[in-house]
Chains A and B, each alone.
Chain A
């Protein structure tokens, strides 16, 4: 997208503007009708309200077509006119009103987007965003370029925050004992209770997740100062407690170090899914990618090894991967530490058990880590304190601290203390907590001992909660207050020391939410509101650290405009390394008893800890590894499944060996898992997800996405428990037994290998090399390794179609793509791709324009191990498009700038084009996929037609963005420059794996990449001449290139 200036607008101006746009309002009732019109404005004055838009569908009804949701389907309505005319004999369009705002705020012109810099609220990582607003409402989230943390990337969860904003189920007004109440009553009651507590000397506790906002932290501490003995308890649903504790032990300060992967050439990940879900995936992905550019001589490619029990996104991208059961991790680290110590001439405790991985592999690994001293790093996601201590020792031995691990400017993205939460629960059970304020977290659902917590809540007299939605925790609270969405409020954050990020409201709030700051201020008797509170902290603590001479006022304006501000970090308090602290630790290896499996619980890319479980985009996002949507499943390795005679879709009962915890959910046989392990994703089975019962079409053979009263997936946090002061996510012994029931998994991809089924392949082996890969060794000698040009037959036809102007094309670097699926959600958001529901996905009718194909390949010589490749697959915009030739009505044709255009309003829906598409990227509207939540229509992109039932759709290379860029360039009287037009997937890719541009411009990046020896086209031999090229995947390995051609 062209870089529109990021404007600063005062809240007053903004309110005026929003009132004008009429897209939102304090009254939710008003929001719905404007929602209905919001996406129409591409065709009408920006603010008209279609009154009788249903006449089109009415005509279709006459024909027996059910055009249900007008708001999603007005294009069908219009399309129906011709018909309505024919039927009625006259074609008068329905009356439509145009309602201008009474005042026109500056910078808001109908149909012109404004871009605002802000900060993502999806997790604590604090990535920078620029949000595109149209007519007073956000319509698209993009990464903020040059942001010191996210560097322009946004993850899938971040992209989906748009839909969370337009959610009619969010809390709008405070409730007391379930009754809606006014804020003043709430304040009165709370203040009364708190004064009572104070006078009685009762204990006040504030329970939150990690808070990175200086102003909020200030507010909390101010609040607690007013209540002697009060404490702020912080926990993380995805805890890094042991990591923090280990550093406290080693460096005397409980800090989370900041990992600088961009400086690393050797990376070892231990149970740390740092590309997918661990702490700050976008930031770490950027760093990981920076070390794998393949530029220079020798080619720059870091070595990445991963040790894990389940198959994580990170593991799927590792150059070398070891499957190690949870019980063995400790002994693996012990062996590694010993070898590293030997090579680095430091000391480490002797391992007590045999190594779970081959010794030579260990030696090789240790060797690499030590040789790359200062440029190597070990990231450990385990929450076992002993393991973490050893890892600290290893990192110290290989000189990571100060180089690849930053302690002086640490990260604040995880601050939770598992022990503190446990202590709090004990306190509550003992009845020693007088007042509890739970803000922005859901411990009952996602914390260890959540069940105990739920019971203990009853023993707290004053229970106050601040939440965006009703959840398991608010259910047990007496006062429940609505919290704003990140786009509705001012906020600040310092996710890593020295980087201050600011959030600004982009829309007038739905309902009457309040930030924690505002609440605490009101209860402290000094009522104040944002942004005043935020700016107070800014002036007091932040501005001084910024250096420079500008006034806080100017600095504030600049920060709001830019979205972030670089600061002098506060001293982290890290002391010199204390070797003694780690010397003692030497974890023992354990193994589950016979007939039992080791349970591994972890987040998925879409759900994380489950705080976004009510977001349909994320529920329908196929998991990058399992490709499972709408729910979680228990994964076991093929060997384990075979031994237990289990198969896909068997409903199994997973029961803890002791503790009486059990759960029933479908089984999924997952390659790449350690044997004897059952892995289950966290974050599912949340209260309120029964809302999705209405998602997906209703017809006789349809199955509901979720049955009424049930939830999407199952919540397995009940298996979490505290071990040695930290939550144990892995290793709990369970039995897995078949219940006899079956539950079809809704997978978006069912055949997982490029190798054809043995029975059907000649000589037992044949490979479809959609993804081509090679090894670093082969690549260094021949950059085109593994990329043999296929035989392309002669062209029967003469070519008489010139592309005078631009010819759009794309290059996708499979070496960079991690499969994180950010592009998938970005595309869905940009192009109004509907959510179709569980049953439709199971029927293989998902509508994703951009999907990510995931292929496994067996690793020769080591059974059970798999290599994984991820391939973004979208319309290839072939020059000789097979789809175009077969369409009888010219509904898909080629444009002069090389686009394969799909004309929805001309399509009659023969599906011939989809049948004839070798890449199967075309998507058909089998039904009217209307969103059951009409408020969600506000998230629709006004620049893209909403497709009706019965028409074909597919990737358009974001043609609306191309038009916008071209029009703006023309208006500015300059030619279109490379990078002016960027597709949604390209924009949000945290790894910059996607490059888009003009192939006719030899200087464009994409043209350069398509000249790269690594470049190939999928199915080139068909001579369909795709405009999308891929770059071969290079693994940091020795040996020849792999299976690049058919044999």
Chain B
């Protein structure tokens, strides 16, 4: 199905931020906001929950620790015990470095993998906005244009005049899925 929405363009983060705060206060659904760099305070303004990625890191790290210690203990002391330099079969201090490295490795890879997977869930927004310089120097604000109270002309004017938007345009897009 196609979806209609209003696309508002800003030249800098200040207007955008104020606009977002305003619209949320009004309760108008903000579909998506795009910026060329992480705008300070925007997530809060949009009311996004904080990420749960740190937990992934923690569990990844623990997994690495377990694998590291078990692997070394089992191969050195259980599977084929060999007398190496007269040291004990389970000479744990010697096993610390490898265990540590595996902690970092597992934690790091787990985190990134999780990030990539999670971030694949696209925002309900136009699939491609190339040319709108959203990755260059423009800030885009996408508003839902479905509900009853929606009035394009009115909205566009308020964006331009009150928040210094460069412009606003109604677009129809294939819903990304």
A contacts, CB < 8 Å to B: 797-801, 878-885, 890, 893-896, 1025
Residues of the A chain whose Cβ atoms lie less than 8 Å from the Cβ of B41: none
One digit per residue, 1 when the CB lies within 8 angstroms of any chain A CB and 0 when it does not, for chain B 62-85 equals: 000000000000000000001111
Interface stretch among B6-14, B87-95, B128-136, B155-163?
B87-95
Residue from A799, A890, A895, A896 in contact with B86 in the complex, judged by beta carbons closer than 8 Å: A799
> Contact: A881 with B88, CB < 8 Å?
no
Alpha-carbon separation in the docked complex, A800 to B82 (Å): 11
24 contacts between A and B (CB under 8 A): A797-B87, A797-B88, A797-B91, A798-B88, A799-B88, A800-B88, A800-B89, A801-B83, A879-B86, A880-B85, A880-B87, A881-B86, A883-B85, A884-B85, A890-B82, A890-B84, A893-B82, A893-B83, A894-B82, A894-B84, A894-B85, A894-B86, A895-B83, A896-B83
Residue from A799, A878, A885, A1025 in contact with B84 in the complex, judged by beta carbons closer than 8 Å: A885
Counting chain A CB atoms within 10 Å of each CB, which of B82, B83, B87, B89 scores highest? B83
Would you give the shortest CB distance from B159 to chain A, in whole angstroms? 65
Counting chain B CB atoms within 10 Å of each CB, which of A797, A879, A895 scores highest? A797
Alpha-carbon separation in the docked complex, A302 to B105 (Å): 70
Alpha-carbon separation in the docked complex, A895 to B85 (Å): 10
Residues of the B chain whose Cβ atoms lie less than 8 Å from the Cβ of A881: 85-86
| 15 extra A-B contacts, CB within 8 A, seeds A800-B88, A879-B86, A885-B84 | A800-B89, A801-B83, A878-B86, A883-B85, A884-B83, A884-B84, A884-B86, A885-B87, A890-B84, A893-B82, A893-B84, A894-B82, A894-B83, A894-B85, A896-B83
Counting chain B CB atoms within 10 Å of each CB, which of A878, A881, A883, A1025 scores highest? A881
Residues of the B chain whose Cβ atoms lie less than 8 Å from the Cβ of A883: 85
Residue of A nearest to B76 (CB): A890
Residues of the B chain whose Cβ atoms lie less than 8 Å from the Cβ of A798: 88
Alpha-carbon separation in the docked complex, A728 to B128 (Å): 105
Residues of the A chain whose Cβ atoms lie less than 8 Å from the Cβ of B82: 890, 893-894
Residue of A nearest to B93 (CB): A796
Would you give the shortest CB distance from A1045 to chain B, in whole angstroms? 26
Alpha-carbon separation in the docked complex, A881 to B84 (Å): 8
Would you give the shortest CB distance from A635 to chain B, in whole angstroms? 43
Residues of the A chain whose Cβ atoms lie less than 8 Å from the Cβ of B87: 797, 880, 885
Alpha-carbon separation in the docked complex, A885 to B86 (Å): 9
Alpha-carbon separation in the docked complex, A26 to B85 (Å): 51
Would you give the shortest CB distance from B94 to chain A, in whole angstroms? 8
Alpha-carbon separation in the docked complex, A517 to B85 (Å): 60
Residues of the B chain whose Cβ atoms lie less than 8 Å from the Cβ of A884: 83-86
Alpha-carbon separation in the docked complex, A765 to B86 (Å): 35
One digit per residue, 1 when the CB lies within 8 angstroms of any chain A CB and 0 when it does not, for chain B 82-126 equals: 111111110100000000000000000000000000000000000
Residues of the A chain whose Cβ atoms lie less than 8 Å from the Cβ of B84: 884-885, 890, 893-894
Alpha-carbon separation in the docked complex, A881 to B86 (Å): 7
Classify the secondary structure of A's interface with B: loop
Alpha-carbon separation in the docked complex, A883 to B84 (Å): 9
Residue of B nearest to A803 (CB): B83
Residues of the B chain whose Cβ atoms lie less than 8 Å from the Cβ of A1025: 86
Alpha-carbon separation in the docked complex, A402 to B85 (Å): 58
> Contact: B86 with A797, CB < 8 Å?
yes
Would you give the shortest CB distance from A894 to chain B, in whole angstroms? 4
Residues of the A chain whose Cβ atoms lie less than 8 Å from the Cβ of B83: 801, 884, 893-896
Residue of A nearest to B84 (CB): A884
Would you give the shortest CB distance from B85 to chain A, in whole angstroms? 4
Alpha-carbon separation in the docked complex, A890 to B86 (Å): 13
Alpha-carbon separation in the docked complex, A893 to B85 (Å): 7
Residues of the B chain whose Cβ atoms lie less than 8 Å from the Cβ of A890: 82, 84
Residue of B nearest to A898 (CB): B83
Alpha-carbon separation in the docked complex, A617 to B70 (Å): 51
Would you give the shortest CB distance from B93 to chain A, in whole angstroms? 9
Residue of A nearest to B77 (CB): A800
Counting chain A CB atoms within 10 Å of each CB, which of B82, B83, B85, B89 scores highest? B85
Would you give the shortest CB distance from A30 to chain B, in whole angstroms? 45
> Contact: A880 with B88, CB < 8 Å?
no
Alpha-carbon separation in the docked complex, A885 to B85 (Å): 5
Residues of the B chain whose Cβ atoms lie less than 8 Å from the Cβ of A799: 86, 88
Alpha-carbon separation in the docked complex, A865 to B89 (Å): 53
Would you give the shortest CB distance from B83 to chain A, in whole angstroms? 4
Alpha-carbon separation in the docked complex, A197 to B149 (Å): 143
Residues of the A chain whose Cβ atoms lie less than 8 Å from the Cβ of B88: 797-800
Residues of the B chain whose Cβ atoms lie less than 8 Å from the Cβ of A878: 86
Residue of B nearest to A799 (CB): B86
Would you give the shortest CB distance from A1025 to chain B, in whole angstroms? 7
Instruction: List the 10 closest A-B pairs by CB distance, nearest first.
Output: A885-B85, A894-B83, A884-B85, A880-B86, A801-B83, A884-B84, A893-B82, A879-B86, A881-B85, A800-B88
Counting chain A CB atoms within 10 Å of each CB, which of B82, B86, B88, B89 scores highest? B86
Alpha-carbon separation in the docked complex, A980 to B33 (Å): 88
Would you give the shortest CB distance from B72 to chain A, in whole angstroms? 13
Alpha-carbon separation in the docked complex, A304 to B83 (Å): 47
> Contact: B89 with A882, CB < 8 Å?
no
Residues of the B chain whose Cβ atoms lie less than 8 Å from the Cβ of A894: 82-86
Alpha-carbon separation in the docked complex, A800 to B85 (Å): 12
Alpha-carbon separation in the docked complex, A569 to B177 (Å): 114
Residue of A nearest to B90 (CB): A800
Residues of the B chain whose Cβ atoms lie less than 8 Å from the Cβ of A893: 82-84
Alpha-carbon separation in the docked complex, A1025 to B85 (Å): 10
Alpha-carbon separation in the docked complex, A799 to B22 (Å): 74
Residue of B nearest to A916 (CB): B85
Alpha-carbon separation in the docked complex, A936 to B24 (Å): 93
Alpha-carbon separation in the docked complex, A885 to B87 (Å): 8
Alpha-carbon separation in the docked complex, A880 to B87 (Å): 7
Would you give the shortest CB distance from B165 to chain A, in whole angstroms? 63
Alpha-carbon separation in the docked complex, A800 to B83 (Å): 9
Residue of A nearest to B83 (CB): A894
Would you give the shortest CB distance from B122 to chain A, in whole angstroms? 44
Alpha-carbon separation in the docked complex, A801 to B87 (Å): 8
Would you give the shortest CB distance from B48 to chain A, in whole angstroms? 48
Would you give the shortest CB distance from B24 to chain A, in whole angstroms? 59
Residue of B nearest to A894 (CB): B83
Residue of B nearest to A890 (CB): B82
Residues of the B chain whose Cβ atoms lie less than 8 Å from the Cβ of A797: 86-88, 91
Residues of the A chain whose Cβ atoms lie less than 8 Å from the Cβ of B85: 880-885, 894
Alpha-carbon separation in the docked complex, A890 to B84 (Å): 8
Residues of the B chain whose Cβ atoms lie less than 8 Å from the Cβ of A885: 84-85, 87
Would you give the shortest CB distance from A196 to chain B, in whole angstroms? 78
Alpha-carbon separation in the docked complex, A881 to B83 (Å): 10
Would you give the shortest CB distance from B95 to chain A, in whole angstroms? 13
Alpha-carbon separation in the docked complex, A462 to B85 (Å): 70
Residue of A nearest to B91 (CB): A797
Counting chain B CB atoms within 10 Å of each CB, which of A799, A878, A883, A884 scores highest? A884
Residue of B nearest to A879 (CB): B86
Counting chain B CB atoms within 10 Å of each CB, which of A798, A879, A894 scores highest? A894
Alpha-carbon separation in the docked complex, A885 to B82 (Å): 11
Would you give the shortest CB distance from B90 to chain A, in whole angstroms? 9
Residues of the B chain whose Cβ atoms lie less than 8 Å from the Cβ of A882: 85
Residues of the B chain whose Cβ atoms lie less than 8 Å from the Cβ of A880: 85-87
Alpha-carbon separation in the docked complex, A883 to B83 (Å): 12
Would you give the shortest CB distance from A913 to chain B, in whole angstroms? 10
Alpha-carbon separation in the docked complex, A717 to B67 (Å): 74
Alpha-carbon separation in the docked complex, A251 to B88 (Å): 73
Would you give the shortest CB distance from B79 to chain A, in whole angstroms? 12
Alpha-carbon separation in the docked complex, A39 to B21 (Å): 88
Residue of B nearest to A896 (CB): B83
Would you give the shortest CB distance from A429 to chain B, in whole angstroms? 71
Residues of the A chain whose Cβ atoms lie less than 8 Å from the Cβ of B89: 800
Alpha-carbon separation in the docked complex, A912 to B28 (Å): 69
Alpha-carbon separation in the docked complex, A883 to B87 (Å): 12
Alpha-carbon separation in the docked complex, A798 to B85 (Å): 12
Alpha-carbon separation in the docked complex, A1025 to B86 (Å): 10
Residues of the B chain whose Cβ atoms lie less than 8 Å from the Cβ of A800: 88-89
Residues of the A chain whose Cβ atoms lie less than 8 Å from the Cβ of B91: 797
Would you give the shortest CB distance from A477 to chain B, in whole angstroms? 62
One digit per residue, 1 when the CB lies within 8 angstroms of any chain A CB and 0 when it does not, for chain B 36-51 equals: 0000000000000000
